[in-house]
Amino acid sequence: MNIQSELLTSLKAEVRIIQIISYETLRIQAELIHAVEELEYELLIWDRVEGIRRWDGENRCFGEPDGHENPADILNYFIEECSDKTLLLLQDFYPDFTEDKPKIIRTLRNIALNMNGQKTLVLSQPHHQLPKELEKEVQVIELPYPSFADIKAIYSAVCENYHIAEIEPHDELIEAAMGLTTMEAERAFAKAYMQDKELTTAQIPAIIKEKENIIKKSGFLEYYHPAETLADIGGLERLKDWLKKRERGFDKYAKEFGLDTPKGILLLGIPGTGKSLTAKAIGSEWQFPLLRLDMGKIFGGIVGESEQNIRAALGIAEAIAPSILWIDEIEKGMSGISSSGNTDGGTTARVLGTFLTWMQEKTKPVFVVATANNISQLPPELLRKGRVDEIFFVDLPTAKERETIISIHLKRKNRNPQEFDLKALSKMSKGFSGAELEEAIKEALFQAYDTGEELATEHIKDAITKTFPLAKTMQEVIENMRNWAKARAVMASADTPEQLETNGQEKIPKLKQEQYNNPFI
Ligand code: ATP
């Protein structure tokens, strides 16, 4: 439901108090003006500096202030003096929601529960904040990010402000600013104009740069420009095949043909096996903007902040859709899910709930790539069928895949793989992850450079011998993951993984603190 129909429905249903969360005062006012004109309501607007002003539909502006700057006064005025079919917008009223203002909270509660007549209060504010007493009585609406038409209107306003001869803007110029609030878009357009004295497609890179900086400031989202492609991934053929087929699911004929827009995948598995690499490769192959979401940073200290952060992240991904939302290590911050009610007042559970509901209901083409190393910390709700299109298990590379990975990384270092004994290197690196193979090559390069020699198979062999792959220290964990994955996930690789050595002969070095079972040492 869009915001306009949600507002109309709420007004018709005589919802007494609505809270709209957004920084965008002008867009909120515009939505309310449309609603009151449709339902023939009167619109009043209040803030603590100006007091009350009345919407003058004929002159398309708000009239002169009419006193009532005091928050307590305004509620009494609303109850006693406003006639039926009135909508009163209170802008930034939330500082009066504090515990030392019990009378105001009670008055609001009375309005929500007992007031007669067709009158509605709308509270607009930039962030979610509502006293507990009102949580059940107030309908909360979050203003979505500006649409294409909204951004286009901002573009026109900027042209007018700076006396730029307005030309019909290229769609791409408007799209470049999508994912920003109206204020941010206005600033981005204005800055780009100030820099180059024109506002055309030539300013798209400057606007995108500005958008990236703004998105980065959120702390939990980051824009990526990956150079990696699917060809940079060694092995994982089944996963790559699946992705190649899904890419076409976004073209304009796919829907007509009966295809569902791909929702996303969950990549589970062993660290360093190419999960993040796959997310980056999808971004560059599909040519969609790639946003990386750090789940750990979603969780904020203030009540309601974490839920608002996740909604903001999902909102931005939708605003720039078609896009890819890469959720790296989704298990981070989710570990306390089962005890969330007792330990964090249910925040973790609510964040996950918001995310899962969005996954289920999203209509915008945002493809989610969630990665996780620690399966045991994943909430079971996330693994349920239908949440994502597919769950892939990314195992350690097989012998053949190791050959490909070594050859990819040699090529990256401008070496000809045919000059190396790939078979021998693959054979002796059993249990190595892609990341460990890459590291071995980097280490070998250092060795060769140090001795003034050209890189040769022997240098890499040497580096492999000196490496203790994670598989050796995590043997049991990996076996457990494999057994778990057999029944619940699709193997990303088309080949069967090798069994890990279980002879126990090899001595695994341990840190001093690992040798004693005493937590205080
Ligand atoms: P983690 O969660 O620990 O980051 P991951 O599975 O996401 O693990 P990546 O970050 O994708 O691992 O891998 C690290 C690096 O190792 C990659 O950037 C890439 O250079 C190399 N690598 C890993 N797997 C492969 C592979 N299958 N083919 C080519 N390179 C690989």
pLDDT of 512 > 70? The answer is no
Quote the CA–CA distance of 392 and 371 in Å, as a whole number: 10
Q: Is the CB of 275 under 6 A from ligand 1?
A: yes
CB 121 within 8 A of CB 111: yes
Average pLDDT over residues 333-362: 74
pLDDT (tens digit, 9 = 90+) per residue, 42-57? 999 999 888 899 999 8
Q: Which uninterrupted H or E stretch holds 120?
A: strand 119-125
pLDDT of 407 > 50? The answer is yes
| Residue 202 neighbours by CB under 8 Å, 6+ apart | 196
**Ligand 1 atom at minimal distance to the Cα of residue 277:** 11
Quote the CA–CA distance of 240 and 493 in Å, as a whole number: 9
Side chain identity, residue 4: Q
- Quickly state the pLDDT bin for 521 (edges 50, 70, 90): very low
Q: Is the CB of 43 under 6 A from ligand 1?
A: no
- Count of CB atoms situated within 10 Å of the CB of 176: 26
Quote the CA–CA distance of 174 and 204 in Å, as a whole number: 9
Classify strands 490-491 and 390-394 as parallel, antiparallel or unpaired: parallel
Return the higher-pLDDT residue of 386 and 338. 386
Q: Is the CB of 407 under 6 A from ligand 1?
A: no
**Ligand 1 atom at minimal distance to the Cα of residue 228:** 18
Cα dist. 249→48, 186, 243, 258, 327 in Å?
51, 34, 10, 10, 21
Average pLDDT over residues 362-387: 84
- Count of CB atoms situated within 10 Å of the CB of 58: 5
Q: Is the CB of 435 under 6 A from ligand 1?
A: yes
Average pLDDT over residues 510-519: 50
- Count of CB atoms situated within 10 Å of the CB of 443: 17
Above pLDDT 90, what percent of the chain?
37
- What is the 8-class DSSP label of residue 202? G
| Residue 131 neighbours by CB under 8 Å, 6+ apart | 97, 99, 105
pTM of the model: 0.79
Q: Match 């740069």 to its residue by tokens.
A: 209
Classify strands 51-56 and 42-47 as parallel, antiparallel or unpaired: antiparallel
- Quickly state the pLDDT bin for 303 (edges 50, 70, 90): low
Classify strands 61-62 and 51-56 as parallel, antiparallel or unpaired: antiparallel
Average pLDDT over residues 67-74: 84
pLDDT of 166 > 80? The answer is no
Quote the CA–CA distance of 329 and 269 in Å, as a whole number: 11
pLDDT (tens digit, 9 = 90+) per residue, 350-359? 888 888 888 8
Q: Which uninterrupted H or E stretch holds 392?
A: strand 390-394
pLDDT of 513 > 50? The answer is no
Q: Is the CB of 276 under 6 A from ligand 1?
A: yes
Classify strands 323-328 and 366-372 as parallel, antiparallel or unpaired: parallel
Ligand 1: which of 228, 267, 273 to mutate, most ligand atoms within 8 Å of CB? 273
Instruction: Tell the residue nearest (CA) to atom 15 of ligand 1.
Output: 435
- CA 275 to ligand 1 center in whole angstroms: 6
pLDDT (tens digit, 9 = 90+) per residue, 172-224? 889 889 888 888 999 999 999 888 888 888 888 899 888 888 888 888 899 88
* Rg of the chain (C-alpha set): 29
Ligand 1: which of 327, 438, 477, 481 to mutate, most ligand atoms within 8 Å of CB? 438
- Count of CB atoms situated within 10 Å of the CB of 163: 7
Burial class of residue 154, CB neighbours in 10 A (0-12, 13-18, 19+): buried
Closest to 143 (Cα-Cα) out of 242, 18, 52: 18
- CA 141 to ligand 1 center in whole angstroms: 41
Q: Match 């900086």 to its residue by tokens.
A: 213
**Sheet arrangement for strand 390-394:** 221-224, 290-294, 323-328, 366-372, 264-269, 390-394, 490-491
What's the first-to-final CA gap in the chain, in angstroms?
58
Q: Phi first, then psi: give them for residue 42, nearest 5 degrees.
A: -95, 140
pLDDT of 520 > 60? The answer is no
CB 396 within 8 A of CB 497: yes
Specify which residues 371 forms β-bridges with: 267
Closest to 151 (Cα-Cα) out of 170, 133, 124, 165: 170
Axis crossing angle, helix 102-114 with helix 71-80, rounded to the nearest 10: 20
- CA 412 to ligand 1 center in whole angstroms: 14
Q: Is the CB of 226 under 6 A from ligand 1?
A: no
- Count of CB atoms situated within 10 Å of the CB of 264: 20
Q: Is the CB of 279 under 6 A from ligand 1?
A: no
Residue 162's pLDDT is 84
- CA 408 to ligand 1 center in whole angstroms: 12
Q: Match 């899904």 to its residue by tokens.
A: 246
- Quickly state the pLDDT bin for 337 (edges 50, 70, 90): low
Per-residue b or e along 356-393, where b marks 16 or more CB atoms closer than 10 Å to that residue's CB: eebbeebeebbbbbbbbbbbebbbeebbeeebbbbbbb
**Ligand 1 atom at minimal distance to the Cα of residue 235:** 27
Helix ranges restricted to H, 67-201: 71-80, 102-114, 148-161, 171-176, 182-196
Instruction: Tell the residue nearest (CA) to atom 11 of ligand 1.
Output: 274
**Ligand 1 atom at minimal distance to the Cα of residue 279:** 11
Residue 145's pLDDT is 86
**Ligand 1 atom at minimal distance to the Cα of residue 373:** 2
pLDDT of 396 > 90? The answer is yes
Q: Phi first, then psi: give them for residue 28, nearest 5 degrees.
A: -65, -45
- CA 366 to ligand 1 center in whole angstroms: 23
**Ligand 1 atom at minimal distance to the Cα of residue 435:** 16
Side chain identity, residue 97: F
**Ligand 1 atom at minimal distance to the Cα of residue 394:** 6
Give the range among 80-89, 100-109, 295-304, 477-486 with minimum mean pLDDT.
295-304
Residue 465's pLDDT is 93
Longest dimension (CA), the chain: 90
- CA 99 to ligand 1 center in whole angstroms: 51
CB 66 within 8 A of CB 99: no
Specify which residues 47 forms β-bridges with: 51
